[in-house]
């Protein structure tokens, strides 16, 4: 698959906490060419998460659901993003909606160290995420910082798209792309800004200049 250089994480709790209209922002991101976006809701009930996923599926061309393969199936999302403690990639593929062939359902996986990179690459996900690249406050108990060198390791182990995540901002994003990342996944760099859409435009401008 091909990813745009910016992969927005539609963090429901963070966006609403800062007073942003998540659906309107997702629609605007898509208009910028960011067709692949991931919705994340770590503290919501399954019913609440489903309601948000249904709304976002109507405006995001290629919606990825964080963790919840069941919700992704219900809303006919483009795919699922799984972590180290979620269902394995191979098992997630079996849950693809009947209208979507298994290999067409996008499955991304998070990794946080060389061993996880190697193991994840062997499962042939559609993309591999590595992080946190820099210190991050977006997670309560983040994994240890892996640095830019982890992007190089992921590039060597995996021949598909590599997504870098964790502490990435307008000030440091250029170095992330230069290290070999195909895309950066960002939350705080969007939702803690007064205007998330303008923030996305600035990040994209950095990508084009990198």
Active-site residue list: 40, 110, 139
Q: Give the CATH number of domain 6-209.
A: 3.20.20.70
> CA of 19: how far to CAs of 22, 44, 156, 190, 195, in Å?
9, 17, 41, 12, 10
* Domain extent listing, the chain: 6-209
Which pLDDT band, with edges at 50, 70 and 90, does 101 fall under?
low
Q: Per-residue DSSP letters for 53-75?
A: HHHHHTT-TEEEEES-HHHHHHT
Q: Cβ distance 129 to 151 under 8 Å?
A: no
Q: Look at residue 103 in the predicted model and tell me its pLDDT.
A: 64
pTM recorded for the entire structure: 0.95
Q: Please indicate whether residue 3 or residue 101 has the higher confidence score (pLDDT).
A: 3
CA–CA distance, 103 with 92 (Å, rounded to integer) = 11
pLDDT at position 159 over 90: yes
């Amino acid at each position: 698959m091909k990813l745009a250089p910016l992969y927005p994480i539609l963090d429901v709790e963070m966006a609403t906490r800062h007073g942003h209209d998540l659906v309107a922002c997702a629609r605007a991101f898509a208009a910028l060419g960011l067709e692949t976006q991931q919705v994340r809701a770590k503290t919501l009930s399954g019913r609440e998460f489903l309601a948000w996923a249904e709304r976002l599926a109507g405006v995001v061309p290629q919606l990825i659901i964080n963790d919840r393969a069941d919700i992704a199936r219900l809303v006919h999302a483009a795919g699922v993003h799984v972590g180290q403690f979620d269902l394995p990639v191979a098992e997630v593929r079996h849950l693809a909606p009947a209208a979507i062939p298994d290999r067409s359902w996008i499955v991304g996986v998070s990794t946080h160290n060389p061993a996880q990179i190697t193991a994840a690459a062997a499962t042939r996900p559609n993309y591999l995420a590595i992080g946190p690249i820099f210190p991050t406050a977006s997670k309560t108990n983040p994994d240890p910082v892996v640095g830019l060198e982890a992007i190089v390791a992921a590039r060597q182990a995996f021949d598909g798209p590599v997504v870098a995540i964790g502490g990435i901002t307008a000030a440091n994003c250029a170095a992330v792309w230069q290290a070999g990342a195909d895309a950066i996944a960002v939350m705080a760099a969007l939702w803690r800004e007064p205007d998330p859409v303008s923030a996305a435009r600035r990040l994209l401008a950095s990508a084009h200049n990198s």
